[in-house]
Amino acid sequence: MKKLMLGAALSALSAGGALAEDVTLQLKWVTQAQFAGYYVAQEKGFYGEEGLNVTILPGGPDISPTQVMAGGGADVTVDWMPSALAAREKGLPLVNIAQPFKSSGMMLTCLKESGVTSPEDFKGKTLGVWFGGNEYPFLSWMSTLGIATDGSEGGVEVLKQGFNVDPLLQKQAACISTMTYNEYWQVIDAGISPDELITFKYEDEGVATLEDGLYVLEQNLADPAFEAKMVKFVRASMKGWKYAEENPDEAAMIVLENDETGAQTETHQKRMMGEIAKLTAGSNGALDEADYARTVKILMAGGSDPVISSEPTGAWTHAISDKALQ
């Protein structure tokens, strides 16, 4: 908390003493290195240099970023594109203004003893899958492989997975959903060695969708003052992300200082930051149109119940990132 207050104080003194502009950022999940760039930007004074007073709101299992945005509780949110595009199709006009994450960290982690050595071996196995929008890349992947997910013979049994690794540890599933920077390491920390596992990264399989991007409400972008504020926010945030990439251990410690729950550990956050840096590497903040097109294609290929039913229009803009990069 003291770091948040310090960031606010520095911001208030920025820009020659001018009154700082307030920005509220809603995170997709709890305080952890997944969001290090924003905490670093605050701690190192990058937001203050832009004349911004940024409040960072942690997420959690009972917090929906899209609902927070719909209720006016934040100016900008971190979200995965499947969730954002689904919300847009349902009437909440979210727009991607920047894409700090270039690569996906999503993968399936399997026990070798289950007999899975390649994706073709998924047939007849139970696979743990996150829902709430995260299932669509999986469903598209299975469709590409010609593997049924409806419980029919020769297909896979889909286990609705919580945000833990218990199904693998208890051998309820041959494979479970994990992130390269989080749940995979929970499996390792539980006593299963890497040589007992085999992993399949969505990125490597060509079925990855865009993850942590920055989203705002479309109507707010019509306000020149709001647009200018977002340009400052994106510029400072990307400066924070690049600093975090280059100084991962320091970034992890900054995250820990901002974790009011005390749930995170130094070892886990340093390890997580090292993996996160691989996902933000190669991004200058601007959305890659090819990555966007791939994401849309995957989300529309979810069988009879795709996450989006038609190709979106106006779901992203380079207007903010282009100015931020000048």
**Predicted confidence (pLDDT) per residue in 237-255, tens digit:** 999 999 999 999 999 999 9
By residue count, the chain amounts to 326
Q: For position 191, what pLDDT does the model report?
A: 96
Q: For position 312, what pLDDT does the model report?
A: 96
User: Cβ(186)–Cβ(164) under 8 Å?
Assistant: yes
Instruction: Give residues with Cβ within 8 angstroms of 275, minimum separation 6.
Output: 105, 180, 181
Rounded average pLDDT over 194-218: 95
Query: Does residue 287 have a pLDDT over 80?
Result: yes
Query: Does residue 258 have a pLDDT over 50?
Result: yes
Rounded average pLDDT over 264-289: 97
| DSSP symbols for 257-298 | HT-TT----HHHHHHHHHHHHHHHTT--SSPPHHHHHHHHHH
Q: By mean pLDDT, which of 85-99, 124-138, 261-275 is the weakest?
A: 124-138
Q: Is 140 exposed, middle or buried (0-12, 13-18, 19+ CB in 10 A)?
A: buried
Rounded average pLDDT over 203-217: 94
Query: Does residue 184 have a pLDDT over 60?
Result: yes
Query: Does residue 2 have a pLDDT over 90?
Result: no
Q: For position 139, what pLDDT does the model report?
A: 83
Query: Does residue 12 have a pLDDT over 60?
Result: no
106-205 carries CATH number 3.40.50.620: no
Q: For position 293, what pLDDT does the model report?
A: 96
Q: For position 9, what pLDDT does the model report?
A: 47
Q: For position 13, what pLDDT does the model report?
A: 47
> What are the pLDDT digits (tens) for 112-124?
999 999 999 999 9
Q: For position 132, what pLDDT does the model report?
A: 67
Query: Does residue 143 have a pLDDT over 90?
Result: no
**Strand, helix or coil for residue 200:** strand
- Model confidence pTM above 0.85: yes
Long-range contact pairs involving 222-229 (C-beta distance under 8 Å, separation at least 24): 226/75, 227/319, 227/320, 229/21, 229/23, 229/52, 229/75
Rounded average pLDDT over 33-42: 98
Element of type H or E holding 97: strand 94-98
> What are the pLDDT digits (tens) for 145-161?
889 998 888 899 999 99
Mean confidence (pLDDT) of the chain: 92
Please tell me the distance from the alpha carbon of residue 52 to that of residue 229, in angstroms, as a whole number.
8
User: Cβ(107)–Cβ(200) under 8 Å?
Assistant: yes
Within the chain, all domains assigned CATH 3.40.190.10 are found at 2-103+210-324, 106-205
DSSP at 123: T
| CATH class for the region spanning 2-103+210-324 | alpha beta
Query: Does residue 78 have a pLDDT over 70?
Result: yes
Query: Does residue 17 have a pLDDT over 90?
Result: no
